[in-house]
Chains A and B, each alone.
Chain A
């Protein structure tokens, strides 16, 4: 099992550019989430999905879109990047709603200039 994979590992964008952060898991997990981690603020939930075709907003959804067309993939789209979106992004998946079994991906470090 590869677990949770994220690409790219690093990305630099200019303000206004768009891009997609990729996340995939091979554990057949229903629940997937995207978090961002800023210095001194812990992790904050951006969007989550409880299964293919079902997504919902988390704590800080503005400026991001998600879709879940398959169980395996949960891409995060930045529509028009802003410097405030400079952060480390973690994707996570879990078998069920019990988050103690949540697996985190290795993270994507995004810088917006």
Chain B
């Protein structure tokens, strides 16, 4: 059975801290791994990763994928209160005529001033 596991489930930090969120997966027919940010509404897309070892970066956020060890990490440096959200990891898998997303449970990040 396909599964995506995120850790930790929740995290509380202070502004300026650096955090690392983890995502491990066991999914057949892997196509890509996606990270989303969710703040009390619909998830918003952050990154898509398809190849091992290539870091994707957007401002203070970065992510990398290891397809041999089947995990990804999302780093946030110099955290701000606006980074408080649930971060979702999802693996896109080929399911015949459709690609499906298998989501992890999310990591709830709270950044305190």
- Enumerate chain A residues within 8 angstroms of B101, measured Cβ to Cβ: 43, 45, 99, 102
Distance in angstroms from A79 CB to nearest chain B CB is 24
* Interface contact A100-B42, CB-CB below 8 Å: no
Judge if A53 is at the interface, Cβ distance under 8 Å: no
Top 3 A-B pairs, shortest CB-CB distance: A42-B103, A104-B42, A100-B48
Distance in angstroms from A4 CB to nearest chain B CB is 8
In the docked arrangement, what's the CA distance between A41 and B105, Å? 4
Judge if A105 is at the interface, Cβ distance under 8 Å: yes
Judge if A106 is at the interface, Cβ distance under 8 Å: yes
- Enumerate chain B residues within 8 angstroms of A107, measured Cβ to Cβ: 41-42
Q: Contacts A42-B90, A50-B98, A107-B42 given; 8 further ones with Cβ under 8 A?
A: A40-B105, A43-B88, A44-B103, A59-B100, A97-B98, A99-B100, A100-B48, A102-B101
Residue of A nearest to B105 (CB): A42
Judge if A74 is at the interface, Cβ distance under 8 Å: no
Distance in angstroms from B23 CB to nearest chain A CB is 11
- Enumerate chain B residues within 8 angstroms of A48, measured Cβ to Cβ: 98, 100
In the docked arrangement, what's the CA distance between A108 and B32, Å? 28
* Interface contact A97-B42, CB-CB below 8 Å: no
Contact pick for B103, options A43, A102, A106, CB 8 Å: A43
Can you name 16 A-B residue pairings with CB atoms under 8 Å?
A31-B98, A41-B105, A42-B90, A42-B106, A43-B103, A45-B100, A50-B97, A56-B98, A99-B100, A100-B48, A100-B92, A102-B101, A104-B43, A104-B44, A105-B42, A106-B41
- Enumerate chain A residues within 8 angstroms of B98, measured Cβ to Cβ: 31, 48, 50, 56, 97
Residue of B nearest to A97 (CB): B99
